[in-house]
Amino acid sequence: MKLKTLLVAGLSIMITSAAFTQTVPRDLAQKYLKTGSLLYFPLKNAPFPHPARNNGYTYNGQFFQKTGHYDKNTVAVFFPTQLALGETVDFVVYFHGWWNNLDSVLRTFKIVDQFIETKKNAVLVIPQGPRNAPDSFGGQLEEQDGFKKMLNEIADILLHISLTETRQVGNIVLAGHSGAYRVMSFILLHGGYTDRIKEVYLFDALYGQTEKFAYWIDHSKGKLIDIYTPEGGTKYESENLMADLTAWKIPFLSVEETALTSEQLRDNRIIFISSRQEHNAVVSQTENFRRFLEASSLKINPNLK
């Protein structure tokens, strides 16, 4: 029995290729049955486990042990049912912030829902970062070629279970909220697929590592969107980066979220968006993840036109 048949009939996603999958919560599996396959892969090249967190992590005097916080090697993958197959597979990779886990991110921030609405011909990937912890560490994805290894492993599995016809990775959109800035910056620095990352979305996430984002801007033709809030702690770094770009004579758009248009999202390479929303609202409250992706260079799925 093939994967999709089992998804419809059983919902547990414990298929004959069980070594490739973990159980997806029943409500999430049911929710997306008509539009695609939501899979949880246990990956060798997932962010965690990682030796740097074998003895846990302490933040502001609170200890977070490895078990329960850094022992999950899970990566969520949403594969659209009618993905148009080609010589390469495009990916959208989203990283969550502090105090979250895959289940809570999928339910609260509606990442899959917004992705589906864009009708983009790509596969959505959401790695499990530090689980329910105040930690920005990206584990294996901070290492040389770590990001490339993870995407290659996912591409190999998708080919193995006959969801694609190639293991070649195409264009990539990188997005993340809050504490995701750190792992994203290291991916841009030496993740292994920097030349294929066409767009980067920071959702109230520019807390630091700004020099890595600036280097990527200066050494690539990729697009960057930085949405920041007055109280989220990212306003200062965003304004500093804008000042640097001004000094370097690199053009950018600075705009209030309420005035932002689809044309501006489509036509500008570097965009800073000042938002009055709360920190956790910038991703889904006005469906910014969907809006940014709709204006992206990723191709529309011809099967969904």
Q: What is the pLDDT of residue 17?
A: 46
Q: What is the pLDDT of residue 232?
A: 74
Chain segment 223-252, per-residue pLDDT in tens: 999 999 998 789 999 999 999 999 999 999
Strand-strand pairing, 270-274 and 223-228: parallel
Q: What is the pLDDT of residue 182?
A: 98
**Domains assigned to the chain:** 3-304 (3.40.50.1820)
Q: Which residues of 157-169 are buried (b: 16+ CB within 10 A; e: fewer)?
A: bbeebebbeebeb
Q: What is the DSSP letter of 51?
A: G
- Average pLDDT of the chain? 92
Report which of 63, 78, 53, 199 is spatially closest to residue 129, judged by C-alpha positions.
53
SS3 content of the chain, % helix, strand, coil (to 5): 35, 20, 40
Q: Please report which residue ranges of 161-268 form alpha helices under DSSP H.
A: 181-190, 210-219, 235-247, 262-267
Q: What is the pLDDT of residue 4?
A: 40
Q: What pTM, to 2 d.p., does this model score?
A: 0.92
Half-sphere exposure of residue 51: CA atoms within 13 angstroms, side-chain side: 1
Tell me the CA distances in angstroms from 116 to 34, 70, 85, one per residue in order: 11, 29, 17
Cβ(193)–Cβ(172) below 8 Å: yes
Measured in residues, the chain has a length of 305
Q: What is the pLDDT of residue 19?
A: 57
Q: Mean pLDDT per 10-residue run, the chain (305 residues)? A: 36 44 87 93 97 98 98 96 94 97 95 97 98 98 98 96 94 98 98 96 97 96 97 91 96 97 97 96 96 97 85
Q: What is the pLDDT of residue 15?
A: 42
Q: What is the pLDDT of residue 8?
A: 34
